[in-house]
Amino acid sequence: MIRINLLPREERQVRRSFALPKLGTLMPALVLLLVAVLFTAFSVIQTLQVGRLKADIARAAEEAEKLRPQIQTIQELTQKREELRRRLNVISTLDKNRLMRVKLVDELARCVPEHLWLGNYEELTPDKVSIDGVTFSNLLVADLMSRLEASPLFANVDLLFAEKGTIDQRTVVKFKVTANLTL
C-alpha cells in the first residue's frame, strides 16, 4: 500500500533522521585521539617503571650497606687467596727449575774434556748460556763444542772468541762459547 501525505509542507510532520558524519571527516580527530591515548599510556608506564627501578635501587643500596662488612671480608679473603696463589706459583716454578739447573751443570761437566777448565758459566737469557774457560789447545775447544752440540740439553753452540794468553808463563787458549738450551 502506498501512502500519500496530502497535508501542506508546513504542516507535515518532519521526520528527523540522525545521520552519522562521514568517516573521512572524523579520521584525523580519531587518529589524534588515538595518538594522545597511546602517548599517555606510554608516559604512565614509563613513570611506573622509573618508580619501580628507583625503589629497587634504594632496596639494593640498603642491602649493600647491610652486607658491607661481609663484602669487605670477602674482598680481603680474595686478596689473601691471590697472594697465596702467587706465592705457590713462585714456589712451584722454583721447584720445577731447581732440578733443571742441576741437570744442566751435570751435563756440562760430562761435556768438558780433560785439560780444559771452565772459568765462568752464565745464563744470558732463560734459554741461552755463556761458557768461559781456558785450555792448552784449540782442539780441546772444538772438542767441547762438538760434545755440547751432541748433548740433548744444548744446541746452536757458537764460539765467540778463542785467543792466546799466558798463565804462569804457560801459553793457553782463552775462549768464550754460547749455546741455546733445549729444555
Report the mean per-residue pLDDT for the chain.
Answer: 88
Alpha-carbon span 168 to 136, nearest angstrom: 13
* Cα distance between residue 100 and residue 85, in whole Å: 23
The grid coordinates listed for 114 are: 780433560
Q: Scanning the structure block, which residue is given the C-alpha cell 752440540? A: 149
Non-local (6+) Cβ contacts of 71 within 8 A are 64
- Residue ranges per domain, the chain? 27-111, 115-181
Say what the pLDDT of residue 143 is. Answer: 94
Does the pTM surpass 0.75? The reply is: no
Contact yes or no for 134/118 (Cβ under 8 A): no
pLDDT above 70 (res 21): no
Whether the pLDDT of residue 18 is over 70: the answer is: no
Q: Contact 134/173 with Cβ under 8 angstroms?
A: yes
**What average pLDDT does range 155-163 have in this prediction?**
92
First to last CA, the chain: 121
If pLDDT is split at 50, 70 and 90, which confidence band does 14 have?
Answer: low
Closest alpha carbon to 144 in 165, 114, 121: 114
Tell me what the mean pLDDT of segment 68-84 comes to: 93
pLDDT tops 70 at residue 23: no
Contact in structure between 119 and 134 (CB atoms under 8 Å): yes
Whether the pLDDT of residue 163 is over 90: the answer is yes
